[in-house]
Structure 1
């Protein structure tokens, strides 16, 4: 288990311990009431064992915390699945991962995206996407199926034009300057952004380099929110899938604050055009 997942399990155990203490129960009293070994309660509370969903419901029932069941069950479901190493996700190449994301996009009605340093995949040109995926193939030493991966990413882009879903995308100004694929590729990519701004279902904002901190949130890793159900976060080593309601609420709050730091319309076009002018 990854260190992040272990930390999540320990945090879950700490929450359950607080519920038990708030109910005025000792570990021995709780284990006796539910018919468990005392060691099971201890292991759960100290993050040594992941409780089942049934364990959560029994625990909350005996601690008078039925209102916490849904949130805690969501945490349990996320602990083991939340952290997936990129090499495992990409073991067969890039296409499979790109195809998986299509399903998430098609099911969602509202998609919120924050990308601080690269262009969001759904707005990438084929050449830019190929350069990004090529970097991943080389870095993680996975099977080279970049062409198929690009095709799947381009297929995902069709979600911008069909259905009734809405997109809110925020790009850090740095994404306009990060050189991906060379001068001609970047020029075409920035032109693509200008064209995409006319898509009715897309709201595209650019966060100026000096913007975010004044609104109480510092930009970190990029993320994609699918309705209020799932948040996907990509890091160097892994992909984090967040389904815990409290954590999703934090990402939603962060996104709203980042939106306040973004510029739109003419001001966003000015930033994009300025970045393009530095290419030659």
Structure 2
């Protein structure tokens, strides 16, 4: 889903199916709860977001109590799923992400085209932030955001957190800053691979197509964060989290790890050194 309207429409469609499955017309359901009939139509066609109380009443009258937890999780997704990118790049958002990472015992992260933020060097971070600023405009918060992102990285060295990174080989090839920055960045990956609670896999550039190319992070089995060009998507619905876990497992089967991953990284370093 690409925007809030589509998220509302998807929830409304599910509620409409539940109502029809119960054999109720929109008017009949509205009468049971004392609603105006137009409220049913607005909810079902994504023009109005129902409240949690609305969904509980809907399930009660449609004898669908078993679907209530999943529907409420979907509602929470609709209410909080999308965060504008202009907020993602500010220091405050870095602190929100830092708390997610600190609260999770296991973080699994897939990034097809860039080095993950937790593994980025200062110069690489600066290159990424400068690109974002040039695309989206707004106040210059590069220095504060850079500092906040570096602070996030301390989670790699403390506590009992475990991290499993899967990155596309394209992330090793895409030049952020200049070739010198890339050589430094890829050397940082080799160092990170020696950390006891870090697993890093590289998915070859010619690997078979398995899932849509969108980066995402899974926090334990509770929440997924995924990015689009314009928004940050938060997924908490259990059945959707499971799909991301399956996607991550499929990608993991394709990834080079250990010495083979190091060889891919070193080859990319040599290519950047030659271009520097």
Q: TM-score, normalised by structure 2?
A: 0.94
Aligned to 1:34: 33
SS of 2:3's equivalent? helix
From 160, 166, 190, the counterpart of 1:164: 160
1:270 maps to what in 2?
263
Superposed displacement of residue 246, structure 1: 2.7
Q: How does 1:130-141 map to 2 (within 5 A)?
A: 130-141=126-137
Select which of 235, 239, 244 maps to 1:242. Answer: 235
For residues 168 and 69 of structure 2, what CA distance do their matches in structure 1 show? 35
Give the SS at the match of 2:114.
coil
Partner of 1:185: 181
Assess, with a 3 A threshold, how the Cα gap between structure 1 residues 268 and 219 changes in structure 2: closer, same or farther. farther
| 1:155-199 Cα shifts (integer Å, max 9, x gaps) | 111111111121111000000000011111110111110111111
Identify the match of residue 148 of structure 1 among 144, 148, 160. 144
2:114 to 111, 115, 118: 118
Shifted more, 69-78 versus 229-238: the winner is 229-238
How many Å separate the matches in 2 of 1:240 and 1:270? 34
**Conserved in 2, the CA contact under 8 Å of 1:172 and 1:209?**
yes
Is 1:84 equivalent to 2:83 in the alignment?
Answer: yes
Q: Describe the SS at the equivalent of 1:210.
A: coil
Please say if residues 212 and 258 of structure 1, whose CA atoms lie closer than 8 Å, have aligned partners that are also in contact: no
Distance in 2 between residues matched to 1:58 and 1:151, nearest whole Å: 48
How far did 1:264 drift? 0.5
Alpha-carbon separation, structure 2, partners of 1:147 and 1:24: 59
Cα deviation code 1:77-125 (max 9, x no counterpart): 22132122223x15xx632222221111111111110000110000011
Q: Distance in 2 between matches of 1:94 and 1:270?
A: 35
Post-superposition CA distance 1:195-247 (Å, at most 9, x none): 1111111111000012242xxx2341111111222221222222222223332
What is residue 216 of structure 2 aligned with on the other side? 223
SS in 2 for 1:259: helix
What is residue 20 of structure 2 aligned with on the other side? 21
Q: 2:102 maps to what in 1?
A: 106
Q: Aligned equivalents of 1:212 and 1:203: distance in 2?
A: 22
CA-based RMSD of the aligned residues comes to 1.6
Q: In the aligned structure 2, how far is the partner of 1:139 from the partner of 1:3? A: 19
Q: CA deviation at 1:3?
A: 5.7
